[in-house]
Amino acid sequence: MTIKSQKIIGQVVFVMLAFYLDGLIKWAFLNNMNKVNLTIIPQLMLMVLVMLTMRIDSRKMILIYGIVFGLIYDSYYFGLIGLYTILLPLVLVGIDHYKFLFTKPSVGYEISIYFISLTFIQSGIYLLEKLFRLASADVGDFITFILGPTLLWNMIVFFVLYVPFANLSDWLVSYRRGTK
């Protein structure tokens, strides 16, 4: 097996790990069912995908990651196809399109990009679900009780996990740098 395919397997395992963590963290720690005032949605998979997208050069690869992981996410967690399947590749390609503006990934850049993508994805899901009458909250409630806490929680987690995740992402895509 070439180093390239080994690294790709590593990337897939990394993303899948974050995928499972999303569901498990929600289940184990953020499982607010009795009092549903604040809803926090862990989005570690998005975090990992944003970090990888900042480092991977091939847009085709990014698009494939977005569609495949979006599809799995939709099917396993939502039971509906069409939310992450569309929004995730859109966000990732968007990041890829504008990342030439940044010379080198740094915590400041990446956290702002993650912030914007998280806002985009959550708002997109809200709008689509509202359109299909799956969501009930109105815009004010959505921003105050769902989007706000979700952004805050995920930003804190991003800060805590930045150093190990960024190093791991660097290492997982580094075969390109070596050959350049």
DSSP reduced 3-state for 172: helix
**How far, in Å, CA of 92 to CA of 112, rounded?**
14
| 78 in contact with another protein (CB under 8 A) | yes
In the chain, the largest separation of any two C-alpha atoms, in whole Å, equals: 55
Q: Nearest to residue 46, comparing CAs of 3, 98, 88, 93?
A: 88
In the bound state with another protein, the residue whose beta carbon lies nearer, of 78 and 175, is 78
Q: Nearest to residue 19, comparing CAs of 92, 89, 75?
A: 75
Instruction: Report the residue from 3, 9, 24, 107 that binds another protein according to the rule CB under 8 A.
Output: 24
Q: How far is the CB of 58 from another protein (least distance, A)?
A: 19
With tokens 């998979």, the residue in question is: 45
| 64 in contact with another protein (CB under 8 A) | no
Looking at residues 27 to 46 of the shown chain, list those that interact with another protein (rule: CB under 8 A). 27-28, 31-37, 39, 41-43
Using the contact rule CB under 8 A, the part of the chain among 47-55, 101-109, 121-129, 163-171 near another protein is: 121-129
Number of H helices, E strands in the chain: 8, 0
What is the contact surface with another protein in residues (CB under 8 A)? 16, 20-28, 31-37, 39, 41-43, 72, 75-83, 85-86, 90, 125-126, 128-129, 132, 134-137, 146
